[in-house]
Amino acid sequence: MSIKVLVTRNYEHMSKVAADIVRKDIIQTLRKKKEYVLGLATGSSPTGMYKRLVKAANSGEFDSARIRSFNLDEYVGLPGKNPQERVMHPESYCYFMIQEFFGLLKDKFIEANVPCGSLIDQKRLMRELKDHPEAWRETGSDAGRAIVISGASSEYLAWIRKTILDGYARQIKKAGGIDLQVIGVGGHGHVGFHESGIPFKGSKVLLIKLDDNTVLNAVADGHFRSKKESPRYAISMGAELIYQARTVVLLASGKRKIEPIAESLLGDMTPKIPISYAQKYAEKGGNMIYVVDKIVGRQLISNKKALGRKKTKIQDLS
């Protein structure tokens, strides 16, 4: 199956086109089975789409009470004395989803799942990593790093691996897999917290060590008051799991997304551009749809012949 690219006029048009794709897929799928499994992302890219989906659900176009959702990622180490305080911190992705989507629905989802990063005590995590270097290893060739836990000598690390990481993957499998996964893209082509350079193999659900620039930028952007308060770790679906969904819809708008989107489609598949895994996903029959604004799409349209040779279809809706 080829990759489909839809070029839209602007952010609002992108949000509408993406919402229509998701809405239609929900309606068609719920004709065939009792529940729909929806994969979600945080950040500014999908919020316009979420508003439209809320409106469609609340007006009765589809039954949101038959949907089960799974989010891509969540911080570890948010400020708070206990998991309840951490999960409801204004910068938690759980809080974001309540504000932007879940809390706006008249009929709530069957279940809304976010990785349980709030259950992990960051100080204890760091202490266990320091005390048990033989129980884990780092992978990744760039700034981002994944912590791969064997956990043999640390009960706490073994619990994180079994319950938080492998447990999230098991939940998704038990639900029958994700019908449609919504994703955005970072400036280096990363998806969720699957950072540039982290290998694809074994990337089901990852414990990520955030690089120093990510931490400092979170403070500079006003998300956290100081480096001390900013989380140092996160839990994230990896590309290997993300691209097991039956459909993946990627949203991208603005100048910062031009280069990673172009590289993911025109270049080879590489862990340096995690979203480039879409090429393998499409080759295996996955339904991959890029919905981009015309700022991102301009470069793709100018390379239409090259994209055609890679079996990528582009449609200009702008």
Per-residue confidence band for 35, with pLDDT thresholds at 50, 70 and 90: very high
Q: Tokens 């080829």 identify what position?
A: 2
What is the tens place of the pLDDT at every residue in 104-138?
Answer: 999 999 999 999 999 999 999 999 999 999 999 99
Question: Does the structure show a pLDDT above 90 at 96?
Answer: yes
Question: Does the structure show a pLDDT above 90 at 278?
Answer: yes
Q: What is the pLDDT of residue 31?
A: 97
What is the tens place of the pLDDT at every residue in 210-239?
Answer: 887 778 877 877 888 888 888 999 999 999
Q: Tokens 């319950």 identify what position?
A: 163
Fold of 3-316: Rossmann fold (3.40.50)
3-state secondary structure of 42: coil
Distance of CA 84 to the CA centre of its chain: 23
- DSSP for 111-164 reads EEE---GGGS-HHHHHHHHHH-GGGEEEE-SSS-EEEEE--TT-HHHHHIIIII
Torsion sign (Cα): 261, 53, 314, 248: positive
3-state secondary structure of 85: helix
Distance CA(219)–CA(214), nearest Å, equals 9
